[in-house]
Amino acid sequence: MREFLVEIVTTIPEGTPQDEVDRRRAAEAVRARELAATGHLARLWRPVGELRSIGIWRAADEEELREKVLGSLPLRPWMSPTVTPLESHPNDPGRADTSG
């Protein structure tokens, strides 16, 4: 699977009933756990004081990420994701040693 840096800004439409917001947020938490269990969601952060998230997501390609992975999120209709494909850097200290 390839890795992607995904920044998500979620904007709840004005006039949305609070019970719908609560229902979708609860379903979002369940779906995030499912995606983590399958390896699609590796890490997720929220910058201090901001209403956006930044995460490392995995998928076969960007189409699968956008359509099947992010598309399966209950809050997706309210999300504006920015997707950046990632590749390993030769100086990454977390990179597996391939020298032999």
CA 81 to chain centre: 8
Indicate whether 90 belongs to any domain: no
Question: How many structural domains comprise the chain?
Answer: 1
Per-residue pLDDT at 65 exceeds 80: yes
Query: In this structure, is residue 35 part of a structural domain?
Result: yes
Angle (CA) 63-81-13 rounded to 5° is 125
- For residue 55, the enclosing domain spans 2-13+21-85
Whole-number pLDDT of residue 100: 44
CATH label of the domain that carries residue 74: 3.30.70.1060
Tell me the C-alpha to C-alpha distance, in Å, between residue 6 and each of 40, 54, 69, 84. Answer: 12, 6, 12, 6
Please report whether residue 91 resides in a domain: no
The position carrying tokens 């032999």 is 100
Instruction: Report pLDDT digits (tens) over 1-55.
Output: 999 999 999 999 999 999 999 999 999 999 999 999 999 999 999 999 988 999 9
Give domain status of residue 96, yes or no.
no
Q: In which band, very low, low, confident or very high, does the pLDDT at 94 lie, cut at 50, 70 and 90? A: confident
5: β partners: 56, 84
